[in-house]
């Protein structure tokens, strides 16, 4: 049945804030998309995780996991291989945070300004840029936009170390407090710090809600 609802692609990076997608940010992004009258399709790259961490101790575990399979836990199985991404099927793209964005979707956590972006992630971002469609990123995920998009205006909150690296990659940073978003209208980017700052889960929900509202506004502008 035809629908006029906007469709937002969501790229996940595993399941768990230390080695995958931050589950609160990912889930509340999906909640905010439906709350604001849109639909979503989750994607993840079919690649091994950089590593697996024990989320109680923070120590590395002697096992391997797959980013797509782990992301399916959050998506309840309704997920596609990121290789299948086609911007023509979507009105916007959102990347929740969690260190998976800096370890699996990119190598920022390891290589900083010299990081590499996963090929399928970069392709998806550039497709949206070339189609003049909006992109949102939460928490640490805006570093991906800083690396891929020239002169991007983004926020990761107040981390001086990360801000310095963002600037070195050619992007511009705006300092924010919890719940605030930064909108780069020229490039149709919306970013918010979430757990880059001290936060409660309800504040994450508010941030995701605001980000999605701004994303949807940008889908109506040329």
Q: Is 115 considered catalytic here?
A: no
Euclidean distance between CA atoms 139 and 198, whole angstroms: 11
* φ, ψ for residue 209, nearest 5 deg: -60, -45
Q: Reading across the β-sheet that carries 135-138, which strands appear in turn? A: 79-81, 39-44, 7-11, 92-95, 135-138, 189-192, 182-184
Contact 176, 158 (CB under 8 A): yes
Tally of helices (H runs) and strands (E runs) in the chain = 8, 9
Euclidean distance between CA atoms 4 and 119, whole angstroms: 31
Contact 142, 125 (CB under 8 A): no
Task: Single out the catalytic residue among 42, 115, 139, 194.
Answer: 139
Active site residues: 139
């Amino acid at each position: 049945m035809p629908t006029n609802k906007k469709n937002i692609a969501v790229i996940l990076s595993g399941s768990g804030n230390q080695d995958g997608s931050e589950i609160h940010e990912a889930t509340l992004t999906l909640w905010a998309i439906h709350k604001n009258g849109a639909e979503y399709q989750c994607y993840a790259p079919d690649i091994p995780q950089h590593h697996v961490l024990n989320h109680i101790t923070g120590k590395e575990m002697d096992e391997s996991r797959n980013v797509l399979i782990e992301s399916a836990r959050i998506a309840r199985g309704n997920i596609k291989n990121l290789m299948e991404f086609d911007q023509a099927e979507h009105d916007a793209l959102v990347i929740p945070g969690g260190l998976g964005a800096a370890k699996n979707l990119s190598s920022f956590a390891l290589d900083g300004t010299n990081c590499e972006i996963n090929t399928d992630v970069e392709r998806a971002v550039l497709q949206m840029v070339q189609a003049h469609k909006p992109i949102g990123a939460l928490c640490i995920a805006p570093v991906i936009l800083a690396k891929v998009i020239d002169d991007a205006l983004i926020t990761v909150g107040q981390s001086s170390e990360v801000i310095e690296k963002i600037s070195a990659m050619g992007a511009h940073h705006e300092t924010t407090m919890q719940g605030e978003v930064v909108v780069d209208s020229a490039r149709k980017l919306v970013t918010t710090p979430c757990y880059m700052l001290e936060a409660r889960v309800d504040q994450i929900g508010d941030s995701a809600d605001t980000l999605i509202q701004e994303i949807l506004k940008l889908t109506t502008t040329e």
